[in-house]
Chain A
Amino acid sequence: MQETMIARAAALLADGTVNRVLGWKKGEFVYDITPAVFTSEEELKSDFVYDDFCGNNLSKYLIKESRKEGKVLAFLKPCDTYSFNQLIKEHRILRDNVYIVGIPCDGKISTEKMKAAAEGIVDVQVDGETLHVDTLYGQKDVSRTDVLAERCVSCKSKKHVAYDELIGEDGEVLESNRFDMVAKLEAMTPDERFAFWRNELSRCIRCNACRNVCPACSCEKCVFDNDASGIANKAAADSFEENMFHIIRAFHVAGRCTDCGECSRVCPQQIPLHLLNRKFIKDIDELYGEYQAGEDTESRAPLTNYKMDDVEPSIVYQRGGK
């Protein structure tokens, strides 16, 4: 796959369709993949990678990249295309300046799970469902399903919703069980839920990685950067700030979040932030009809829309939970 992608990118660079390629390159370790821009075939050949660790959603980079000189090629996985579509809808990406190549994805590996499964990783060879891991302490085999990222275990779609060309076959929208955990939390008592979230959110160090990586969080000036907001402190000094930051972060992307799961991937404290976003998605689906952000570029987002006979807020007191 990687070779096909490099060849195709090089061809598009050569015929002048694009002048840059947005992809991934290796970091210090095999699992440290970082987004990168390539401008020549030599660079592509020496640095470009596409493997099971390329989890980064590249669509957010296109906001800035599409405003530069010339056209940029971007490789997007199925779930990235949803974010891309959503950004197009919000007029954040200049569509004429990007060339999208859809690439297949059969799930990405969670770096955290990988590091937990094998200590001192030097190299990883993928062999079907088994990963041959070279570590400082010798060879080890790890099952791929065991280290698959949480968001990929409950993958919502293998279908590309936006592309200029595809490499490989397009997939289908999948039946996923992604709301199972949300439903489980909803079934708990408020005290249990409160304890669960205190345990999770109290680990927050307010690094803002979840905000910075989120394709939906693309405001040029963020409310949290406002010194007068009362919660602009770097470290969450009080439990209130943790709650406030996470409620507002999730609320600001409600109805626009495509559930790409980047927030949870980048969280250095491994807080399951996607559970907050999924709660909003689940509520919207249940109360205002099924809606998948980024599925198309025309429909109105649930929070910028209304019906005369929408449910009253008192529904919250009546339904679910204890």
Chain B
Amino acid sequence: MQVNEFKPKIVAFCCNWCSYAGADLAGTNRLNYPADVKIIRVPCSCRVNPMFILRAFQRGADGVIICGCHPGDCHYTSGNYYARRRMTLLFSMLDYLGIEKERTRVEWVSAAEGAKFAATMNEFVEAVTKLGENKRLEDLRCKKQ
């Protein structure tokens, strides 16, 4: 008999210059991380508009993680500094509205940190699995029947 185990859908916005390469490194190093993580490549972590995150939740994501270069290492000098402020405020607002803050996260992963990428994803997927399905920011019209 098949057991219907909850598998979260995770969207990971990865910056082209560091975290995407980090994910690549995790792959070439044959490190395991859950297949539930869907990576979206963005030019820079500051390309991530708050709308993207809400939109991901609308379309059925259970967790959204943003990965960028470490502060100070941004390919565009300062993008991740802006992203840091923006995301801090957005996460705080989600928490203020009573939406589980554990569903959103920012991590700095460099191109050399394949192991960190895999570890971060494993940990994040585990945390979101515990929370269960995203109910508070779901759009019923986008749910599969």
Chain A residues engaging chain B, CB cutoff 8 angstroms: 185-186, 190-197, 223, 229-230, 237-238, 240-241, 243-244, 247-248, 250-251, 254, 276, 279-280, 283-284, 287-288, 302-308, 310-317, 321
Chain B facing A: main interface SS? helix
- Whether B50 lies near A310 (C-beta < 8 A) is no
Chain A: minimal CB distance from B15 (Å): 15
With A244-B54, A280-B93 known to touch, is A311 a contact of B88 (CB < 8 Å)?
A: yes
A310 contacts which chain B residues (CB < 8 A)?
A: 71, 81, 84-85, 88
B136 within 8 A of A: yes
Chain A binder among B27-35, B96-104, B111-119: B96-104
Known: A248-B51, A254-B89, A306-B82. A193 touches B137 (CB 8 A): no
B-chain residues with CB within 8 Å of residue A315 when the two chains form the complex: 88
Residues of B close to A248: CB separation below 8 A = 50-51, 54
In the complex, the chain B residue whose C-beta lies closest to that of A279 is B96
Q: Known contacts A247-B94, A306-B81, A310-B81: does B71 contact A284 (CB below 8 Å)?
A: no
The residue of chain A having its C-beta at the shortest distance from the C-beta of B57 within the complex is A240
- In the complex, the chain B residue whose C-beta lies closest to that of A196 is B98
Closest chain B residue to A276, Cβ basis: B93
Contact of B58 with A by CB under 8 A: yes
List 7 A-B pairs, minimum CB-CB distance, nearest first: A194-B98, A193-B98, A306-B81, A240-B139, A313-B106, A316-B91, A313-B88
Task: Determine whether the beta carbon of B98 is less than 8 Å from that of A190.
Answer: yes
| Interface pair B82/A194, CB less than 8 Å apart | no
The CA-CA distance from A284 to B90 in the complex, in Å, is 11
Instruction: Name which residue of chain A comes closest to B51, CB basis.
Output: A248
Interface majority SS on A: helix, strand, loop or mixed? helix
**Alpha-carbon distance between A279 and B94 when the two chains are bound, in angstroms:** 11
Task: Identify the closest chain B residue to A302 (Cβ).
Answer: B85
Task: Tell whether, in the assembled complex, residue A312 and residue B51 are in contact, meaning their CB atoms are under 8 Å apart.
Answer: no
B50 / chain A contacts, CB cutoff of 8 Å: 247-248, 251
Query: Which residues from chain B contact A243 at a C-beta distance below 8 Å?
Result: 54, 97, 99, 137
